[in-house]
Amino acid sequence: MSTDILDRPVADADQEQAFVTLTVADQLCGVPVLGVRDILGEQTITRIPLSPEEIAGSLNLRGRIVTAIDLRRRLHLPSAPTGTKRMSVVAEQGGELYALLVDSVAEVMTLKSSAFERNPPTLSPTWATYSTGIYRLENRLLVVLDVAKLLAFAEKG
């Protein structure tokens, strides 16, 4: 019995991926929605002495201590202007919760897998280190962040 091309499963190109979109220093980014546990508004963060500069401190999320990571510092970007209210995208890594401090969180965006591209050579090395690739939207570039890589230093420390 021969296999007809019409009997094959639908190609990966037709699949869609959902991302929580956020901004860091005016750059539109996305993290896979399945990796997001919570989204928080401005939180009180307690500084942790002797921690790396990327760790903004810790916060209390419904009785759990969550390590807050400043994505601007992690990506070697200028600090947010004083008085700027920031949001947190909470993700889990190795059984621990981490809050990624971002400038804003926008929406959940569903994009076709066929539109996904690997990091272009023009993407800065720092961004490329923490990105799995990009989507070219109508008038913006969406950088897909690799949360595991962003949090990798936490496992070493």
The structure tokens listed for 30 are: 């996305």
The pLDDT tens digits for 33-84 are 999 999 999 999 999 999 999 999 999 999 999 999 999 999 999 988 888 8
The residue among 45, 32, 28, 57 whose CA lies nearest residue 85 is 45
Q: Are 69 and 16 in contact (CB under 8 A)?
A: no
Tens of pLDDT, residues 2-30:
444 444 444 465 799 999 999 999 999 99
Residue 137, both tokens:
């939207």
Question: Domains in the chain and their CATH numbers?
Answer: 18-156 (2.40.50.180)
